[in-house]
Structure formats: C-alpha cells, structure tokens
C-alpha cells in the first residue's frame, strides 16, 4: 500500500529527520524523496509504502505535533494522483 506525503514549511534543521522518524516508528518505508528549498520554503514530496495498510488518519495524528511547529504535512493515498494523470 502506497501513499504520498508532502511537507511544506519554513526551512530549518531536522525536518527530514523528524518526518522520517515518525515513518520509521510507524513501520512505513520511504521509497523515494524529492526535496527543494524555494525562497526559504522547504518543500518535500515523499513516496512511501508499507506491507500493511497505511492508516492515513493515524499518521496524520502523529504528524500533528510537527504541524504545531509550523510545517504543513499532507498524507494522501497514491490512487488520487495516478487516476488523475493516467488513462
């Protein structure tokens, strides 16, 4: 089961560390990362997967602490991206 995680926020130390820590603890594997800093804003898209069904709501709850630090974190199942761009 696959999902896309997008992280946007003011660049600072430890963003990747904190996000991947939550994923490690939830037994979710990172398949790929694309990351840039645009005008001081850190933007990252992660493709993640897990043998089990990823509980999107559970992950979002765990990320809510990071959101309090000013990061915007979205977790979405990949189907929405696939279906919109592939025939």
Partner 1 sequence: MTIYSDIQETIRMLDKEKLDIRTITMGISLLDCFTDDINITVKKIYDKIYAYSSKLVDTGEDIAKEYGIPIINKRIAVTPIALAAFSKAEDYIKIASTLDKCANDVGVNFIGGYSALVHKDITKSEHAFLDSIPKALKVTKRVCSSVNVGSTKAGINLDAIKLIGSTIKQIAFETKDEDSIGCAKFVVFANAVEDNPFMAGAFHGVGEGEAVINVGVSGPGTIKAAIEKCKGEPINEICEMIKRTAFKITRAGQLVGNEASKRLGVPFGILDLSLAPTPEIGDSVALILEEMGLEKCGAHGTTAALALLTDAVKKGGIMASSYVGGLSGAFIPVSEDAEMIACVNCGALSFDKLEAMTSVCSVGLDMIAVPGDTPDTTISAIIADEASIGVINNKTTAVRIIPVYGKKLGDIVKFGGLLGEAPIMKLNDYSSKNFINRGGRIPAPVHSFKN
Out of 14, 21, 69, 81, the residue judged to bind partner 1 by CB under 8 A: 81
Closest CA to 75 of 23, 9, 21, 15: 23
Determine, following the binding rule CB under 8 A, whether residue 22 of this chain makes contact with partner 1. no
Q: In what order do the strands lie in the sheet with 41-49?
A: 29-38, 41-49, 2-10, 72-77
Q: Which two tokens stand for residue 50?
A: 């897990």
Candidates 12-20, 21-29, 63-71, 76-84 — which segment interacts with partner 1 by CB under 8 A? 76-84
Name the residue nearer to partner 1 (CB basis): 14 or 70: 70
Q: Say how many C-beta atoms besides its own lie within 10 A of residue 5's C-beta.
A: 25
Return residues touching partner 1 (CB under 8 A): 4, 6, 32, 34, 45, 47, 56-57, 60, 74-85
């Amino acid at each position: 089961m696959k999902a896309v995680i997008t992280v946007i926020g003011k660049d600072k130390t430890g963003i990747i560390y904190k996000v991947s820590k939550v994923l490690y603890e939830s037994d979710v594997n990172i398949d790929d990362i694309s990351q840039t800093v645009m005008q001081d804003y850190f933007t990252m898209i992660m493709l993640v997967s897990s043998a089990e069904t990823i509980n999107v709501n559970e992950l979002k709850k765990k990320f809510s602490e990071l959101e309090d630090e000013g990061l915007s974190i979205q977790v979405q199942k990949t189907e929405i991206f696939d279906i919109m761009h592939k025939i």
